[in-house]
Structure 1
Amino acid sequence: MIRKVKPQIRVVGFDDGTFSFSSKLGRGKTVLIGVVMKGSQEVVGVLSRWITVDGRDATDAMIDAVLSSRFKDLRVILLRGITYGGFNIVDVERIYRETDLPVVVVVRKKPDLKAMESALRKHFPDAEERIELLRGAPPLFEILPGKLYLQAVGVDERTAEEIVRVTTKTGLIPEPLRLAHMIASAVMTGESTRE
């Protein structure tokens, strides 16, 4: 339980690498990067795993990365949305249950769930299971109108908002997520892309 969000709170932020259309067709892999930081100031370490594009292994990869890491003082897991590597949908509740760490999901653009469900039904034989994960995600709440939304498990909305504020250095995205995005894109393309 997080009673007070300290400026040096230990968090890990996960983001995935880019992938090509051909890797989507061939169920290729993309990298999943977790950046471990003290607040927004100091990088403590980096975790990495490979996940299947449009697969079902992102949840397991995150849980394994956290539980098998040497970083035993983590307090929060930050996610950049709940879909990784295309439609590799994360089970946020399961991550919370199995790691015993609160999960805060940061989203820049409100997702179009109807369009996502339609795409899933069109392209995936296990669409209903994936849709269940989408629908089972925590409710989205807006913290900056039209610009930033959060979902949280294991902490209340106010605490989740404070965690995001403390871990953000510049812009809207927490620093661990911003760096994870840059590292993951560099691994996949040879050069980091803009946040």
Structure 2
Amino acid sequence: MIRKVKPQIRVVGFDDGTFSFSSKLSGEKTILVGVVMKGSQEVVGVLSRWITVDGNDATDAMIEAINSSRFKDLRLILLKGITYAGFNVVDLERLHSETGLPVIVVIRKRPDMEGMERALRKHFSDAEERIDLLRKAPSLVELIPEKLYIQTVGLKADTAAEIVRVTTKTGLVPEPLRLAHMIASGVMRGESTRE
């Protein structure tokens, strides 16, 4: 339980690498990178795993990366959205319960849930399972009108908002997520892309 948000709170932020349309068809993998930081100031370490494009292994990869890591003082997980590697949907409740850590999902644009559900039903035999994960995710909380939203599991929204503030250094996205994006895209493309 996080009672007081300290500027040096230890968090891990996950983002995935880029992938091509053809990799969606052939079940290829992309990298999942977790950056461990003290607040927004100091990088403590990096976690990485490979996840299947449009697969269903992102939740397992995150749980395994966190639970098997040397970083036993983590207080929180930051995610950049709920889908990774295409439509590899994260089970937020399971991620929270199996790591014992609260989860904050940071989203820049309000998702088009109807469009996502249509796409899932059109392309996936297990569409209903993926849609269930999307639907059971907590409601969006708008932090900055039309620019930044969060979802939280295991944490009150006001505490989550404070953690987002404390872990953000440049722009709108928390530093662990910004750096995870740069590292993951750098691994997959040979050069990092803009957040």
Q: TM-score, normalised by structure 2?
A: 1.00
| CA offset digits 1:8-64 (Å, max 9, x no partner) | 000000000000111111010000000000000000000000000000000000000
Find the aligned partners of 1:146 and 1:46 in 2 and give their Cα distance: 31
1:193 to 2:180 alignment: no
Tell me the equivalent position of 1:46: 46
Distance 2:172 2:134 in 1: 24
- SS of the residue corresponding to residue 54 of structure 1 reads coil
Letter in 1 for 2:165: R
1:115 paired residue number: 115
Query: Which residue of structure 2 aligns with residue 157 of structure 1?
Result: 157
Equivalents in 1 of 2:27, 2:142: separation in Å? Answer: 34
- Report what 1:24 is aligned to: 24
Q: Secondary structure, in 3 states, of the residue corresponding to 1:35? A: strand
Structure 1 runs not aligned, ≥5 long: none
Alignment of 1:114-133 (within 5 A): 114-133=114-133
Q: State the TM-score, normalized to the length of structure 1.
A: 1.00
Counterpart Cα distance in 1 of 2:154 and 2:163: 12
Secondary structure of the 1:130 match is helix
Distance 1:182 1:150 in 2: 21
- The alignment's C-alpha RMSD in Å is 0.3
Aligned residues: 195
2:105 paired with 1:105 = yes
Structure 2: distance between partners of 1:33 and 1:138: 24
Please give the secondary structure, in 1, of the residue aligned with 2:146.
coil
Q: Partners of 1:173 and 1:107 in 2: how far apart?
A: 9
Give the 5 Å matches for 1:3-82: 3-82=3-82
Structure 2 counterpart SS, 1:70: coil
Query: 1:72-108 CA distances to partner (integer Å, 9 max, x unpaired)?
Result: 0000000000000000000011000000000000000
What residue identity is the alignment partner of 1:54? D
Displacement of 1:170: 1.0
Cα deviation 1:141-190 (Å, max 9, x = unaligned): 10100000000001100000000000000100000000000000000000
Structure 1 residue runs of 4+, over 6 Å off? none
SS at match of 1:74: coil
Gaps of 5+ in 2: none
